[in-house]
Structure 1
Amino acid sequence: MRNTMSFRASFLGLALVTLAALHIAAGPALAQSPFSPVRKVGDRVITAYDVDQRITFLELLNAGAADPREEALARLTEEAVQRDYAQRQGVRITSDELSEGMAEFASRANLETEAFLAELADGGVSQEAFMSFVEAGLMWRKIVGPQLGGTISVTTTDIQRARDVAAIRGTKRVLISEIFLPADPQYAEPVAQIMGLIEDASGAEEFSALAREYSLAGSRDAGGRLDWVALEQLPGPISGPMSNAVPGQIVGPIELSGAIAYFQLRAEDSTRDIPASQVKLTYKRLLLPGGRNPDTLARLAEIRARVQHCNALDPFAAGLPDGYITDNDALMQSIPQSDAVELARLDRFEISANTVENGNLVVLMLCARELELEQRPSNSQIENSLFNARLGARAQLKLDELIADTVIVDY
């Protein structure tokens, strides 16, 4: 094969989505090798030649199947079912459509159609097999778009969540537990004693027991245990010590606005690198007068019960002075430390209220956590990607149903 050939594994993805098969009609020649039948799918026959061609094609695409013959036979079976269904639906492909489809597939190898066919021939794949492959794939596209596309929707929330997923991937994830203590002067003596107990804690269970008994954070009922969080989401005073900590180690005390925090590293995990300077947060900040008095905590409980998205937090600022509720949009590293600690462990539309500022309880609600790139994908690009992924899944379900209704006989 020429060195200019550069088939990538991604071609297999297109092959499996566009889905088509080489079909050789049943006839007297089928009784003789290499055209002897190996499987009959409905009224269509898959021959040994078909299977050999598909195995070779998958090898050229660097598919790397564990069992190449089984993989080839499975794809050919799917494609035979698709062809039969397309025929029943009256779907046909014109010569111009076929030429365009072949050119589209070849372009993914940065080749013109003729050059691509030559590379296939050098590798042992016939032009007819490739043409049949593309034709059946185009038929299936014509079916799944009109029949299934109308059943799929992508919401604004879906797009926002897709951005969030990209943003929270980081170099390192940590599994931590937390304890928040009040920094109010009237609690100084008992808090000092509790701090001593925390610093002397010998393990995760003892730390969690202390969190259940003394922590102000909403995680106290879970023993202070939080889910995985990317290290890049944590502010410097926490991410620095955590990056050098070993499981079981306690980090703290860390003084925040109206609170003293301790964190224990329970486990760590490495993922791909995304600098903290590229993580942007959008969040609401509401100040509730009264600190942690019973009326304020009752108001907080009402907010947690009723607020499901960021805009719904605004009515709870009614009657409060200007500036008591703010919309914030900033890179993670630019957010004040007290807010950053709280926001780091929140998912979209979650609320945290563990700190006090000038006698006001600070209520934070995360609206978005996104990856800030110079060439960020547009909303329409993300929408198209999500739509295509859902359409592919729905099409596969449709195909599975068709296969289940088809008589398949192995020889």
Structure 2
Amino acid sequence: MSSIANQTLHALGKRLRGGLLALTAALALAPGAALAQNMFAPALHVNDQVITEFDITQRMRFLEVLNVGAADLRAEAERRLTEEAVQRFHARRAGVRIASDDLAEGLAEFAARAELDTEEFIAQLAGAGVERHTFRDFVEVGLMWREMVRARFLPRVNVTSAEVDRALSVSAIRGTQRVLLSEIFLPSDPEFAEPVGEIIPQILAIRSFEEFSEAARQVSIAGSREQGGRLEWMEITRLPPQVAAQVRDASPGTIIGPIEVPGAFGIFQLRATESRRDIPAERVKVDYKRLLLPGGRSEATMERLSRIRARVDMCNDLNAFARDLPEAALTRQEALVRELPQDVALELSRLDAGEISANMVDEGGALVVLMLCSRTLEREEPLSREQIGGQLRDQRLNQMADNWLEELVAQAEIRRP
């Protein structure tokens, strides 16, 4: 990097950091979005269907019951409802209907995942403010879509004996990698759009480890900035799939990103790789806690974070720092890494059990504190050839279905009132 570019980066970094405290203070004081006066007012039009504020609220509650850890729950609810509206539109055009017996079986199958019968599950939903028809509509459109996907793609899917052999050869233990990464996190807040927009191209143009580390020291908002953004050796299975896919075949020096997470853009540089045998990534499970501290990156919140880091060694210790906060501010979740939101998976991948991350700010302006409680291997019985073949077939069907749905959503007429 030239001395002129380095000076520019340093100046932009000062601008970025200088405004950070003012922005987070403003976020802390900003009022929440007003509730819609008419819950049945249209929020979205998707082809010939209307999605109301009530529909969105219902889906958000349903997602909360299902422990969907979306960074922006409303956006996730709108996305899913939009996709389902598109699925229902095309199912009806194709004449797909779900018989009452098949729908009842689908409802029972879904409820059984929670070890409940249908009425017990509906009662649980009602306790969370989710109405019966919300659950029913969700299952019905899923059954419609499954029928359409199987009719369209199943005849095209052929899993060979050789493919099953290859899958069986890595189903228990396979070779994986561990990597050395450096990171830079830049705020995605609108106030910083101009300097961040100038900084990102300069970072992507970096060609040496030293320049990347110097850039991290100057502009990164992550705690690793003091170490030049350098992280310790990390198993590639601990990375979120979106990052792991780019890292796996990259060579040292490659810069990856920017990857958007709540409140920030993440940029990574691969410093080294090491091949080794490890467990399958899809079986890695994490148990973690999330604490939302109001005030974003304000001085008071950062002081509170310092006390947490000094006094918390185990996940249960975190409870003491949530006593004066709403019950929803502290949550605990256990999930496979591949099921986590990308931003959460990325942060947890950097932690060992008992360690804390606080690099994210949620959509409400709260500082997101993540603590890893444990990282374990999900045990499973050896799979038969038939089961492996079924999994490969389902994977291909799901990929085809996802691609098709993406096309249909892109072609749909979607607008806001």
**TM-score with structure 1 setting the length:** 0.49
Higher relative contact order (CA 8 A, sep 6+): 2
Bigger Rg, structure 1 or 2: 1
